[in-house]
Amino acid sequence: MQVKICGIKDKDILSAAIKAGADFVGLVFFPKSPRHVSIPQAKDLAEFARQSSGEVPTKMVALVVNASNEDLETIIKEVKPDYLQLHGSETVERVQEIFKLFQTPLIKAIGVSNSDDAAFADHYTEAEIILFDAKADPKLTPLPGGNGIPFDWTALKGQKETRNFMLSGGLTAENVSEAIHLTGASIVDVSSGVETSPGVKDKALIEAFIRAVKRA
């Protein structure tokens, strides 16, 4: 099992996540999010992570939402992420275009409310990893993810037979074991589930979450 801690904004929390065993760390480039970081912040954090990681480096993920080519080019040049996480309404064609232009490994987030949503992931063949998240209601939140809302995990029935995938959406140390066993996810992603308030990560919650994942 692998773990991604998303929405990190400072070195203290980043260091704690790496020491606790995080396999991926997510940096959010979306001004509407309480977890948003600037390019200089992200560059500093990414360099720190590369210096702090052990023999198996923690992978840096740049989360973007319907980003322009110009913004993507800047992020890749300055931050040098291992993955781009496309967490907006990017079409199949747009994902193909991004991969062709930048040749950076992609994570494509798919909002799920039913099995049909999950099945649509088959179209995103350029994405190295599919991330299944709860489908956000734009009437209730401007954020496409990080809302602390789980979805019906049975909607992912059969997915583990066709791909390795990342699971997100309302995960906590208390429910992640059930989520793993029910869905067969090979990677789990958490943000609000290790926070004391939106955008404020807690070391103890990160450590507890990673322990729960490794036990599962």
Q: List pLDDT tens digits, range 106-115.
A: 999 999 989 9
**Amino acid 150: pLDDT:** 83
Mean pLDDT of 56-64: 94
Grade residue 42 by pLDDT with cuts at 50, 70 and 90: very high
What type of residue sits at position 33?
A: S
For residue 140, is pLDDT > 70? no
CB of 14 within 8 A of CB of 25? yes
Residue appearing with tokens 């070391």: 203
- Whether 46 shows a pLDDT value over 90: the answer reads yes
The pLDDT score that the predictor gives to residue 55 is: 74
Q: Model confidence at 17, in pLDDT bands (50, 70, 90)?
A: very high
Of the chain, the percentage scoring pLDDT greater than 70 comes to 94
- Is domain 2-215 in CATH 1.10.630.10, yes or no? no
185: pLDDT strictly greater than 60: yes
Sorted by where each begins, the domain ranges of the chain are 2-215
Predicted local distance difference test score (pLDDT) of residue 93 = 98
What mean pLDDT, rounded, does the chain reach? Answer: 92
Question: What pLDDT is recorded for position 142?
Answer: 54
Q: By percentage, how much of the chain surpasses pLDDT 90?
A: 83
Angle at CA of residue 90, ends 84 and 94, nearest 5°: 85
- Per the DSSP assignment, residues forming a β-bridge with 60 are 25
pLDDT at 161: 79
Residues identified as active-site: 6, 133
Q: Highest mean pLDDT range out of 138-142, 145-149, 156-160?
A: 156-160
- Phi/psi-derived region of residue 33, left when phi > 0, alpha when psi is between -120 and 50, beta in every other case: beta
pTM (predicted TM-score) = 0.92
Does position 145 have pLDDT exceeding 60, yes or no?
no
Which one, of 11, 68, 73, lies nearest residue 42 by Cα? Answer: 11
